[in-house]
């Protein structure tokens, strides 16, 4: 992972909607258990869904 990507993860919560890679990296940095689903239309990313699981004992 590049230094730039590391910095993006550290400064999570600072990304605009125009920075989809930053939003994906932020989701990866914050989710513990779950799924990140990317939707692509005509070769372009149009949607990201994040589903986080919480289990209780």
First-last CA distance in the chain: 35
List, run by run, the mean pLDDT of 10-residue segments along the chain (57 residues).
Answer: 44 62 92 95 94 92
Closest CA to 1 of 19, 28, 20: 28
Asked whether the whole model's pTM tops 0.85, one would answer no
In the chain, what are the domain boundaries? 3-52
Cβ-based neighbours of 23, under 8 Å, separated by 6 or more: 15, 17, 48
Q: What is the model's pLDDT at position 32?
A: 92
DSSP string, the chain: --HHHHHHHHTTT---TT-HHHHHHHHHHH-SSEEEEEEEETTEEEEEEEEE-----
């Amino acid at each position: 992972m590049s230094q730039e990507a590391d910095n993006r993860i550290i400064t999570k919560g600072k990304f605009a909607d125009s920075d989809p890679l930053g939003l994906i990296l932020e989701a990866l940095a914050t989710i513990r258990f779950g799924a990140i689903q990317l939707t692509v239309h005509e070769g372009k990313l149009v949607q990201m869904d994040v589903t986080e699981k919480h289990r209780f004992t």
